[in-house]
Amino acid sequence: MNEPPPAPASHQPLRPLWVCRIDAYPWPCADARLHLTAEFRGRTLALTLFLATHYVEALGDLHTIDPELGAPPDSRVLYERFLGWVPVRRHE
């Protein structure tokens, strides 16, 4: 299976904080989402699996961060951030 190229280096996640390396917005930032949408065009399931993998990694990372940096996000909020924006095709 061909792996899509990674998002431009400027919009990769900075772990363990999971913010964009360039704009410091929560990753995937708007630019990363645009890139991912283009790279996975027509392969929504692959995009969903890619983001779900990152969601699980982020959930683990963000729950191990020093509590003085702030409470980890709620898993539902994190789910919406990583997967809530992916277009869903309904088959009837």
Pairing, β 13-14 against β 19-20: antiparallel
The total of structural domains in the chain comes to 1
pLDDT digits (tens, 9 = 90+) for 2-18: 555 554 557 999 999 99
Domain, as residue range, for 34: 13-83
pTM of the model: 0.80
> Is residue 91 included in any domain, yes or no?
no
> Is residue 1 included in any domain, yes or no?
no
pLDDT digits (tens, 9 = 90+) for 47-58: 999 999 999 999
> Is residue 29 included in any domain, yes or no?
yes
Cα separation values, 85 from 1, 47, 69, 81, 88, Å: 24, 11, 27, 7, 9
